[in-house]
Chains A and B, each alone.
Chain A
Amino acid sequence: MTAAIGVVTFPGSLDDGDACRAAYLAGARVLRLWHADPDLHGVDAVVLPGGFSYGDYLRCGAIARFSPVMESIIDAAKGGMPVLGICNGFQVLCEAHLLPGALTRNSHLHFRNRDQLLRVESTGTAWTSSFEPGQQILIPVKNGEGRYVADQATLDKLDAEGLVVARYVDGNPNGSQRSIAAIRNPAGNVVGIMPHPEHAVEALTGPSTDGLGFFSSVLRHLAAYERVTTS
């Protein structure tokens, strides 16, 4: 059975269709999840897409974290379900305390959209096993509040335990501490990433097709999981 990836739509989600396209191109079954519906409809993994959930007028992701669907996703994530938060989704994961730290206003105070080089530093996650350690990938970044910040102890812990999934290379587009672009939880099933892999899945519309690796990784992960649990 092909794995099913659920993509959540909050009011104000914008890149939800793009996340669906990326998962579909990677070969997944795609289901759309609605913020007000706590039922995950049997999906094997979840993507929290980019956008401005609930307008993000309070603090990015602060309201989405309390939506009915998030209650279920938080439980599922603690049980090992792969969850990828992209941009606003990363913000939601931090607000939900599934990942440490916070995303704050870019240091230069502007929204910034550019094609960004990243270095993949952790390939042991559900979402990055298709990459080589140290591999450089080109993914669009586009955010106004993407500056990753955490206290010193947390940053040291992220480094010491290899929980940084990707860092910005050739320029830090938003002032993130230690050039952090993506992080993971210790189990490796939850990953938050500020740049947008779902916008680097077709040569025609993206700067590369490097973003597909995130979605093919999770399909591989799920296939392996299925093999283990059914054998």
Chain B
Amino acid sequence: MTSTAFVGPPAASGTPFDGPDTVDWATATPDAPQPHAELGLADDEYERIRQILGRRPTQSELAMYSIMWSEHCSYKSSKVHLRQFGEKAPHSDRLLAGIGENAGVVRISEQLAVTFKVESHNHPSFVEPYQGAATGVGGIVRDILAMGARPIAVMDPLRFGAADHPDTARVLPGVVGGVGGYGNCLGLPNIGGELVFDPCYQGNPLLNALCVGVLPVDRLQNKAAAGPGNVVVLIGAKTGRDGIGGVSVLASATFDAGSEARRPSVQVGDPFTEKLLIEACLEIYDAGLVVGIQDLGGAGLTCALTETSAAAGTGMVIDLDRVPLREASMDPHEVLASESQERMLLIVEPAKLNAVLGICAKWGVLATAIGQVTPPENGTPGRLVVNWKGQTVVDVPPGSLADDGPVYARPMREPNDRWLLQADRAETLPRPADSELRDTLLRLIASPNLCDKSWVTEQYDRYVLGNTVLAQPEDAGVLRIDPQSGLGIALSVDGNGRYARLDPYQGAKLALAEAYRNVVATGATPVAVTNCLNFGSPEDPGVMWQFAEAVRGLADGCLELGIPVTGGNVSFYNQTGTVPINPTPIVGVLGVIDNVAERTPMGFANRGDAIVLLGTTREELSGSEWANVVHNHLGGHPPVVDLDAERRLGAVVTAAPLTSAHDLSEGGLAQALAESAMRKGLGARITLPQGQSAFVQLFSESAGRILVSVPAGAEDDLLALAAAHGVAATPLGTVGGDALVIDGLFDIPLDELRAAYAATLPDLFGRGEPEEPDYVPAPRPVVAEPAAAEPEVADVAAPEIHLGRPVDAHEGAAEDATDE
């Protein structure tokens, strides 16, 4: 395949002028051969396009259909399954916008709402790690912006191949640098994420990015291009040749040896422009200047034009010559397909156009009127007409691209190795003797999936915007939303591909359960769910079965927990050759906390506090990190998931006055104890109860457990509360000392724990230059410095100031509740 095939179809041969394929010419040359197969369109899909148009598509139209009907944009393989999220959704009064919008919007108070979503940028991040990851962040941030929200934080669930594989050393630093480079430069705190290594991701690393934003309820925007006569305005970066075919070439096909040649299909990010775009859009929203707005992401202008007009049932006439280009030689199909970043499409009433252009000029954001909304014709939706150099190159019903893409019920088959896999249980593996438990703990805590992630998270700004109450490595990120009342939110993203490989239905539920548990551990009440479903090729019946099972599990789980899915993203074709990744459903749970000052951190806080384990430990080692690290083993059944028990556990931890709470997940109790102790440098003395082997108690990964501490004397109240909710509660010991002591088994000084925990990632990915020793200046003669006077007591009332959004000149005048 030549590189031009990625860029778009060649012009039909013999056009009568030196220019692109037009509607007139397409009508005149119905039989001109077209390269639909090379663009990823099946023969029957191409036939359907011809039926819709009543002629062959032009070169531009063919490019548009090929990207809008790609797996990435049309969800053609996943749609029939994703419907369950709507059908099984529990009722929620909080939901202001749900599936199908750019992002779900959840009301958190009378005045305020939160919008959040997680998306993948997996394929670009493998091809070009830095830019792939950077634009992954940029894309999800614009989704949040398009809802009318100010983006306030990001999170990054990441998956890489084996930690010691040479290619991981290429991909990981680039991805982390890209996530950090873009997010830091936008001024968005990174409040959490995941970092998991597994050989199954070697050729298919996963970069999922979550963004959360906040808006006043009445600032909610929509994407409908309503109002014939309104002006279509494109703002932001110029359009270039970058990212052409990103969704169809990269995201909708399996990788092969030629993947490196696809670097031109990766977009290049400019976070500075995006920052200006955010400020300009928010000012435009606050002034009430837009009718509709849509971000330009995958499929670029094509997607934005068709989705906005289809949503309103209107049409549009677009003058493509007006689109500001980086390269003047671009053809119309390239302009329509470009995925150049940092662009938004606005629908503006003519009378307000000058005000919009003025705000954009203030922020130095390019803004161009490129067309007009046209009315429906005779009761049928309007048409999208695109003109180029005086010729019509596109004339299509927008709904046929945006909504009426092909839908497939792909064949599904349970993978035939599944029963073998499930029969090979980790519970039967050789276990360490009690005398070896100390070494086992140290080995596990230093393993790449359980070790200290500071090497990564130190590259992310977690402080900017000044509302980060908890961030990684805490169980969930907690943000203050309203400084007056203390109202805030908690967010966690979780997933475990090993569990999902063993049982995708349970695996999806386990991911949901863990994210839910992480949110309740901080004291917040879960209210909504987002998800990113990372799978192999949907054309593989085994993968399709995994996908269907995971969706069913997540939909059932959300129904059981009473929190709706508000949106999400599907990433297929994460496989190299015929080998797919472990199915990896990533689940994000959003919680609301009435007063962030009362959040519960994960670290042991006070000497003498009583440590209690909430929940039940079973002998569940299959899929565990112990089986992974010690035996390189994956088999058996994942831990049992009981969502009713999770809910009762949540009720206990949100009601009890805890001094610390830390969820148990990968690595089990041993990991949770070590992390809780190291967090603030306070050790613990633990006595494991009799009756169950110490090994199982320490390393089983049973779900539904949280390690908590309470002030001495308060444990009886906690036990009573737990009993009232039917939650098992096991007193384990007390906080104190500078070691983790397990009575009768071992003790490990915190310094030794920390050394094992912290060394792994720097050893793998570099420490940089050794830090210089502290510099101590030579003493110098004391110079008398003038004593500062006592402050004057001023009785002038402090004026209202408005934080977070700059205003035109001085004396903050922004009326922006969300920015406080």
Contacts and interface: CB of A to CB of B under 8 A. Distances in A.
A107 B768 contact: yes
Given A114-B458, A199-B463, A223-B791, A170 B783 contact: no
Contact of A12 (B272, B772, B790, B796): B272
Given A178-B777, A223-B789, A171 B771 contact: yes
A154 interface: no
Q: Which of B177, B465, B775 has the most CB of A within 10 A?
A: B775
Given A12-B272, A205-B480, A179 B772 contact: yes
B780 A160 contact: yes
A65 interface: no
B466 A199 contact: yes
A142 B772 contact: no
Contacts of A221: 788
A37 B809 contact: yes
B804 A17 contact: yes
A101 interface: no
A180 B776 CA distance: 10
B810 A32 contact: yes
Nearest to A16: B806
Given A113-B460, A114-B458, A17 B774 contact: no
B808 A204 contact: no
Nearest to B766: A108
A164 to B, nearest CB: 7
Nearest to B488: A204
B801 interface: yes
Contact of A31 (B766, B803, B811): B811
A206 interface: yes
Contacts of B177: 110
A25 B791 CA distance: 15
A39 B798 CA distance: 22
Contacts of A14: 185-187, 275, 464
Interface string A35-58: 001010100000000111011110
B792 interface: yes
A14 to B, nearest CB: 3
A220 B463 contact: no
Contacts of B462: 113
A20 B803 contact: yes
B798 A204 contact: no
Given A37-B809, A41-B809, A217-B788, A2 B466 contact: no
A170 B808 CA distance: 42
Contact of B788 (A52, A159, A164, A220): A220
Nearest to A109: B768
Contacts of B364: 11
Given A27-B794, A113-B459, A34 B774 contact: no
B331 interface: no
Contacts of A108: 766-769
A179 B480 CA distance: 34
A112 B774 contact: no
B459 A110 contact: yes
Interface string B184-196: 1111000000000
Contacts of B771: 171-173, 175
6 contacts: A18-B464, A54-B272, A111-B460, A167-B774, A172-B775, A216-B791
Interface of A: 1-2, 6, 9, 11-18, 20-21, 24, 27, 29-34, 37, 39, 41, 50-52, 54-57, 106-114, 121, 123-124, 129-130, 140, 142, 144, 159-160, 162, 164, 167-173, 175, 178-180, 196, 198-199, 202, 204-206, 216-217, 219-221, 223-224, 226-228
